[in-house]
Structures are given as structure tokens and as C-alpha cells.
Structure 1
């Protein structure tokens, strides 16, 4: 087997491996601390589900609080939740909130602190930084940085969104049309993300996720039907296709953001930051793919060119690989209605 075929096979294996995984990685955990009185705090702790069991993490409140942990969690069908009221007579300012076990996971935990007489603040805890010392006052800047990170992680952990963008890169040969398509996709999902997150549009999640998979199947078919010198609508005006499907993908982003929640008092900041994070993640992915294509072009001159030709083996394998993964997702999501 020559080097070119090995590289193509490697791409197929990477794409096929995604079919056995969830289209999104685990959603972040969520810890909400809401002050009830000067000495008491209501705690809501939501752990991600891992194959029908709560993720092996927990939440520890500052040492000034009693109790520091809640009872055994109960499933709500999507995640595992615990709630309790903690007594913190000396306050929580300067105390440490930690998530034991987070350093061994691949997800984050969003910490929201809602004092009685101060602005709501949001902090993102990560495997690298699973603990946070609460300052006396929390700033809006922490909300912006936290939600940028959440948006960035969400797009890079969303296999279906990335596969859609990758299919665009394979389908559209003209650089300017490609720029127009990605711009239209960005504009469209920004619109529906904002409308849905603010409650102006409400659409059930499962049908949206199924339609997102269907959008990738459509692009795979367009890749396979490409004819040199005879552009189809998706290639002549790709921004129309990208904009239409981008509206669907925005609803998918909004579903994740709804589960995370938006901090009251900082909703515009959090929404903007999440969207900026999504765009940064998308641009990072596009840049990585273009760099990989450039490296392949250097190692195997002519391979990329041959894969851009209509009905070539490389084009066919890429189209069928993308379509197979997307079809698996489509069937799996429809069966889960």
C-alpha cells in the first residue's frame, strides 16, 4: 500500500471512530451557590452522566460551611443532581470551592455564585484547576472568560459540528466561496444561538440533533455528486446552504448553553463570550485542517489534487466516510426520540 492510500485510510479510520462515540463529549458539571440569608447558602450540584452513573467527581464547599457535601445524587434522566442548604456563619469570601476527582476527567465544572447584595459571578473549573478561592467580590470579567472557554470547548468536542465544517472544506473548491460559506454558517448559528438562549425560540432538542446529522448527510451526497466544471447549487452558492443549516446548528449550540445556564445580570456578556468561544474553536479547527492539508501536499505531491477530482477514489472514500458517520448519528438520534 503506497503512502497516499495509507493517509486516506488513516482519515477514514479517524472519521469512522467518531461513529462509535457520542456526537458531543460530556457536558460540563454545574455547581450553583445561591445565598438565602447572611449565613446560609442553597446548593445545587449537577454531575454529568457516564454510562448510567454519576461521574466520579464531587463538590466541596469552603471549610466554613456545614455540610460541605450533599447526599447521594439522583438522576433526572440526563445528569445526576444533589441539593442541600449549607450553613456558613463566617461567610464564603476567601474560602475554597473544589471539585475532587475533576483532575482525572475530560470535562469542566461551571461554578455560579449568587450573593444577596452583589452581582452574580461565574467561574470555570477545569481538570488543570479543579479548585477556586472565592474573592470578597467577583467580577464580570470572570464570567466572560469562563463562557469563552465553555464555547471553545463545546465546538471542539462537538463531532457533528466539526464534521459539518470539514465537509464544507472538502466540498467547496473555490477559496472565496469557502470563506463565504463559513461566514454564512457563523452568522446563522449566532442568530439562532442568541434567540434560543434568550427564550425567544423553543425547539425540542432531539429533532434538532437529528436534523444536524441530516445536514452532514446532505453535504456527503453533494461531495459524491460533484462534477468537474459543472457546479451544483451547493457549490455555486454555498452560503445559502451554510446559512440554512447554520440555523439548525445554532439551535444545537443553544441546547448546550441552556443546560449550562446564563448568569442573571450578566446574560449579554455570557452569551457574547460563549459565541466568541465557539467561533475561536471553529477557526482553530479550520486552521488545523488547512495545515494538515498543506503538510500532506508537501509529503505526497498530487495526492490532494487527485482527491479534489470528481469521482476519484479519494473523493469517493471521503464522501462515503463522512456520509456513513452522519447516517449512523441520524439513525441513532431518530431511534432515541
Structure 2
């Protein structure tokens, strides 16, 4: 069945010119609102808005009633999104107040709110087009923490083009279902280990090398995919779980970078970490199922394409490798 999915990679080739721009902001990127407690009824507010056609997305953050907002400076563009910040005074605190993202219901994106009712008490809440406001609870319940971080993990993996492309290439490279199962399991175990270690501060690696090696891992799989089965690396052919485990360790560090930006709630760190990882796995499983279903549909609609499977695979491998090589060079330039 894996061979039946190979044509899907050709679709990546058709859009190869668009893939390098996936690292830039677009209308589906999330907004980000952070309220950091400074004490004495003051909060430092950071408001990050996605870019849409060179202008900030028309959404606005509204703090609870009773907060006296200092007029924020105009947002600045950082090549990805529009960011501004200001100091808000909320004498009555945030608890019991309502935080709203106006205009979010007219978009196709969501907004992550990271806030501190008290210094050190970090919480998060995800707002969507169907839920543009929430009331700050006295204390975040464990169910709310779990649901928020599962959703964040799920969203993160589906927005991570490089992680998905790695899984995609892995699916196409391995034709034996048993080896595929163990390869994906090894990838899951590996990135779970480094995600936990980096998020808890046990392991620290600068982001630029991590992101570059992630792109290199895709180049490696694309190269192997371009070769005839008999000429491929024997370790990758006979023990693909070794390859996926090794690269999974690096991908886990990439996941941890996103989680560090979000932060972990004090008192519920294990739960939040586990929930985020579950969200990542659910997103990965959803992606695999969509790819499999797409392969079956294409086989039914265009069965003649599989007569040219070798040529399609070769062309698809070049497309994947070209995109990944671009990412390598682009990320090296950011060192």
C-alpha cells in the first residue's frame, strides 16, 4: 500500500516553489497574546499578529474591564508577524475578567493567550474563531490544562511542514508494514525523550543547529528515496527504526523549541508536557491517515499512474530533496 502513496509526493513537487515560503507567516498563522505579571497590579503585554498581504491581520486584543491600557506603539514587522507591547494596569487583577480577541471570528486562525494572574503562575488558553473570549479562572483546572496543551501540540505538528515532510518521506521509503510500524514507533519514542529533556531544562541545544539538522534529515530520506531499492543504505533498508530514532531525537528538540516559547504552567508541568506530546502524536496520526486515504483515492481515480511508479518516485524524491536543501541553506544563513 505504501507504493500507492508515492504519487502524493509528486504533488509536493508541483508546489515546490511555494514550500519555501511555508516558514513565513500567512493568514493561518496563530496570534499570540502574552501578559507577564510585574507586580503591583501591572502586566507587560506582548501582542503578536499574523501578517496578511503585508499588513497586520485585523484582530485586536481586549483585556478585562478595569484594566487601564497604556496606548501601545505601532506594531513592527519582524519578517514573520507584527509585534507590539505595552504596560497594562489592572488594579483588580485578571481573575474573573474576560480576555477577548476581537475580529477572530472573521478569520481562519486562532490565538494563544499566555498569561500570569500572579507572578510565576503561568497559564495558557487557546482562542478560536468559535471562541473569541474566555473568563480568567481563579485556578486552571487540570482538564483545562490538558485540553489546551493537547490542542497546542496538535496544531504545532500540523503547522510544522518540515516534520510532516519527514514523516511523509518515511512513509514512502518503507514498503514493509512491520518495519514501517517500528520506524514510526521509534520516531515517536525518540522525539518524546528529547522533547521532555529539553522542556525540563535537562538538555539545551541552540535552535539554529537543530532546525538545520531537521532539514538535513529530510535531505537524507529524499536521497535514499531517489535510489533503486537495491542501492539504498542497508541500515536504512533493514533497520529503518535506527534511522528514524536518531533523527527523531533531533525533531524532538525542534518540538521543545516551540514548547519553550509557550511555557509550562507551574504545578502542572508533567501534565502539560504529556498533553502536548499527545497532541503532537494525534496530529501525526491524523496526517498519516489523510495520506493513506489520499493514496487510495488516487489509485481508484488514476490507476494508470502506477505503471510509472519508478519515474514518479524519482521525480518526487528530487522535489523533496530540493525543498529540504533550500531549508538547509536558509537555516544556515540564520546562524
Query: Which of 77, 89, 106 is the equivalent residue of 1:86?
Result: 89
Match runs of 1:253-272 below 5 Å: 253-272=255-274
Give the Å deviation of 1:57: 3.6
C-alpha spacing 1:165/1:23, structure 2 compared with 1 (3 Å): farther
CA deviations over 1:169-196 (Å, ceiling 9, x no partner): 1110101111111111111111111111
Instruction: Provide the C-alpha distance between the structure 1 equivalents of 2:223 and 2:66, rounded to a whole number of angstroms.
Output: 60
Structure 1, unaligned stretches of length 5 or more?
none
TM-score by length of 2: 0.85
Is the Cα–Cα contact under 8 Å of residues 61 and 69 in structure 1 kept in the other structure?
no
What residue is the counterpart of 2:317 in the other structure? 319
* 1:146 and 2:144 are equivalent in the alignment: no
Instruction: Provide the C-alpha distance between the structure 1 equivalents of 2:173 and 2:62, rounded to a whole number of angstroms.
Output: 49
Instruction: Provide the C-alpha distance between the structure 2 equivalents of 1:264 and 1:136, rounded to a whole number of angstroms.
Output: 14
What residue is the counterpart of 1:179 in the other structure? 181
CA deviations over 1:204-236 (Å, ceiling 9, x no partner): 111111111110000000011132597732121
Give the 3-state SS of the residue equivalent to 1:129 in structure 2: coil
* 1:132 and 2:130 are equivalent in the alignment: no
Is the Cα–Cα contact under 8 Å of residues 212 and 331 in structure 2 kept in the other structure?
yes
Match runs of 1:35-50 below 5 Å: 36-37=39-40, 40-48=41-49, 50=51
TM-score by length of 1: 0.85
C-alpha spacing 1:129/1:146, structure 2 compared with 1 (3 Å): same
Q: Which moved more, 1:190-199 or 1:111-120?
A: 111-120
Instruction: Provide the C-alpha distance between the structure 1 equivalents of 2:12 and 2:293, rounded to a whole number of angstroms.
Output: 15
Across the two proteins, how many residue pairs are aligned to each other?
A: 326
Structure 2, unaligned stretches of length 5 or more?
1-5
Is the Cα–Cα contact under 8 Å of residues 31 and 109 in structure 1 kept in the other structure?
no
CA deviations over 1:249-294 (Å, ceiling 9, x no partner): 1111111111111122221111111111100000000000011111
What residue is the counterpart of 1:205 in the other structure? 207
Give the Å deviation of 1:102: 3.2
Is the Cα–Cα contact under 8 Å of residues 32 and 112 in structure 1 kept in the other structure?
yes
Give the 3-state SS of the residue equivalent to 1:31 in structure 2: strand
Is the Cα–Cα contact under 8 Å of residues 24 and 158 in structure 1 kept in the other structure?
no
Is the Cα–Cα contact under 8 Å of residues 24 and 80 in structure 2 kept in the other structure?
no
Instruction: Provide the C-alpha distance between the structure 2 equivalents of 1:165 and 1:96, rounded to a whole number of angstroms.
Output: 40
C-alpha spacing 1:287/1:103, structure 2 compared with 1 (3 Å): same
Is the Cα–Cα contact under 8 Å of residues 24 and 79 in structure 2 kept in the other structure?
no
What is the RMSD computed on CA atoms of the aligned residues?
3.1
Q: Which moved more, 1:286-295 or 1:227-236?
A: 227-236
Give the Å deviation of 1:167: 0.2
Greater RCO (Cα-Cα under 8 Å, separation 6 or more): 2
Give the Å deviation of 1:300: 2.9
